[in-house]
Amino acid sequence: MTKSKIAAVSLHTTPLDVFGNFETIRSAIFSKDAQDADIILFPELCISGYGCEDAFYRPKLWEKSFQVLNQIKDLSPNQVIVVGLPVFSNSFLYNCMAVLFDGKIQALVPKLNLANTGVHYEKRWFHAPNEFQTKQIPFAGELIPFGHFVFSFRNFRFAIEICEDSWSSIKPSQIYNVKGTDVILSPGASHFAMGKQNIRRQIFKETSRNQNNLQVFTNLCGNESGRIIFEGGAFFASGGMIVKEGPRLHFTPFEITSHNFDPNEIRASKARNFREPNPNLIANEIPIIVLKPVLDQEANGKFRLKVDDKRETGNSQVMENTESLSPFEEFTKAVSLGLYDYLRKSNTKGYTLSLSGGADSATCALLVSAMAEIARNENGKDCFQKLGIIEKNLLVTLYQKTKNNSQITEEIAKSLSEELDCEFHSISIDEMVSSSVSLIETIKGTKLNWQEHDLALQNIQARVRSPLIWLLANLNGHLLLSTGNRSEAAVGYTTMDGDSSGSIAPLAGVSKEFLLDWLDDIQKGNNRYITPKHSIQLLRETKPTAELKPLAEHQEDEKDLMPYPILNSIERKLVYLGDLESEVLEGLRTEFPWETKEQLLGYIQKFKKLFGISQWKRERLPPSFHLDEYGLDPKSSYRFPILSNET
């Protein structure tokens, strides 16, 4: 029995950092985990980075990517290396995978199905052929096979379908498979969303069962370009089962998941179970490219793989089984990874946070603390020192109180900072608020009061806090965390240039209801990354409140808006599902039977009004992470007119 080995690499890349990405790719190829693999598979667009956006139009980016490709092809010529890059040919830019072997570019395979939904806008930059291509193109002075091929290598055949190709209803692999393909390589740039890995597993398991072949998926990992987090999680599927799966959401530069297989076992399965589909899907012939060295040399000087002992990925043996993560733990690790990558890619020294004693700011503090712990576990105790970050200054918090703040929220903020062992300060801003109000009273010639000027008097408190927390963040050399969640973004329950201020909004991709449930899950001891906290217990015994009105009014978020579960349900039905108002009402009456029809209808109409007039706020919010099945970030998830009137 002759077995073959494939190494699937998930790795961190940075858009436009072509030579930095090359170093990570090179380290992976030279690692001990990949040295005896027949094929080393890398993710989609790993040379240029996936999130280059309109920089994909730059010829210099294509040229640099090709320079790197030329270097990669000589690193280990006796192995097949499959890497992704943008390729310009005959007036069009393509998203391609390059197949390298024997020191040559054996073929360039363009993506057929471009992802253009949700957070992906590939059709803005790339062209996709509308049928299989089998031609040659001039590329760097040579004629290179360009198109869709079956590759014959040693004792098996493989083909490539790129990310979205594997998700489409008519997969290229259906045609490749009829041509006797044993292995389908699926390099991806598939974004993180809670629970999405289960969907991937389901797709590839069913495809491997249906086609009776080995399906190999690999993915980018990390917060690549600011908004989208990739989760790694390479895996192999065969016979309807996941036979090997690698680490997800890893903080290490790369992780390699390898699998040994016997092509004869695949062929025996085909003989027993596979039947040619009717009607015949093959519109034209798929050529077979035989990968064979021009000089049939054994592993000597040119062909010997030099193992690099400088791999800096941490110890994958201590990484947890991410397959068993709950949605709350997935959220914890994904946001922690996003925060870690923001630090190292922006070359800043930590995070500053306006800690209010409420759920949102407490969540941000907990996630920064979790990020630090996970990073140390996976990248070594000195990982922050290597980044030039002083750990004791990693998180700095500031409680900015007014006469409208209760004693309990300051106690929660101080207690949480002590439990997380981070720097904490508390100041009073009443004098600044009064000074600001007095100046405007002088201009207007009137005394401001809570009966007539409620909103303005609330907002000035949030806006006075903003320059102070920004000043502290600048002095610290920190990024400023904005604490808003998706529920607040939906209805504009945030003060522009106040509590919306920040460098990044890590919670804006999830609802307030989810965040409160997440805190409760921690207190139950269910989160492997965060232990229960006394401060969180105190927090959950209080009602969410902005604390911007006089204490005697007992301000609460859900009194200002509506109960958060109802808000979340309306938002999902109206925004994500696009239901009619009557359909939303019918659904709410089933979910919340204790509410009257009139009350529910009032909530729907209030949400619609607030959502429509708040788009300008969403346009100005800091960048956020895509974390759930949908988001409201107009840059990456949901585009909506600033001026509208839905009747």
pLDDT in tens, 304-363: 344 444 444 444 444 456 678 999 999 999 999 999 999 999 999 999 999 999 999 999
Residues flagged as binding site for L-glutamine:
190, 196
d(CA 328, CA 371): 15
SS3 415: helix
Q: Report residue 637: phi and psi, to 5°.
A: -135, -55
Q: Report residue 621: phi and psi, to 5°.
A: -70, 155
At residue 275, the pLDDT reads 80
d(CA 315, CA 379): 8
Of 260, 195, 192, which is closest to residue 10 (Cα–Cα)? 192
For the chain, the first-to-last Cα distance in angstroms comes to 70
At residue 322, the pLDDT reads 63
Angle at 381 between CA 425 and CA 34, to 5 degrees: 140
Query: What is the length of the chain?
Result: 647
Question: What distances in angstroms separate CA 52 from CA 45, 256, 559, one per listed residue?
Answer: 10, 25, 43
d(CA 575, CA 502): 25
Pairing of strands 229-231, 221-223: antiparallel
Task: Name residue, tokens 């801003």.
Answer: 429
Of 388, 461, 393, 455, which is closest to residue 429 (Cα–Cα)? 461
Query: What percent of the chain has pLDDT above 90?
Result: 86
Of 137, 18, 14, 149, which is closest to residue 80 (Cα–Cα)? 149
Of 139, 19, 16, 130, which is closest to residue 88 (Cα–Cα)? 139
Residue numbers in the chain where pLDDT is lower than 50: 296-319
Structure tokens at 443: 């201009």
Report whether 272 contacts 242 (CB < 8 A).
no
d(CA 479, CA 474): 8
d(CA 212, CA 506): 42
What stretches of 489-554 adopt beta strand conformation (E)? none
At residue 292, the pLDDT reads 86
Structure tokens at 381: 């105790």
Question: How many CB atoms are closer than 10 A to CB 45?
Answer: 32
Q: Report residue 51: phi and psi, to 5°.
A: -95, 40
Report whether 403 contacts 552 (CB < 8 A).
no
Of 233, 292, 279, 238, which is closest to residue 257 (Cα–Cα)? 233
Cα Rg of the chain (Å, integer): 27
List the catalytic residues: 44, 111, 163
Cβ neighbours for 288, distance < 8 A, ≥ 6 positions apart: 149, 150, 151, 152, 157, 179
Of 101, 170, 100, 80, which is closest to residue 130 (Cα–Cα)? 170
At residue 297, the pLDDT reads 44
What stretches of 59-177 adopt beta strand conformation (E)? 80-89, 92-101, 104-110, 134-139, 142-147, 150-153, 156-160
Cβ neighbours for 315, distance < 8 A, ≥ 6 positions apart: none
At residue 308, the pLDDT reads 44
Structure tokens at 45: 């667009």
SS3 371: helix
d(CA 430, CA 436): 10
At residue 283, the pLDDT reads 52
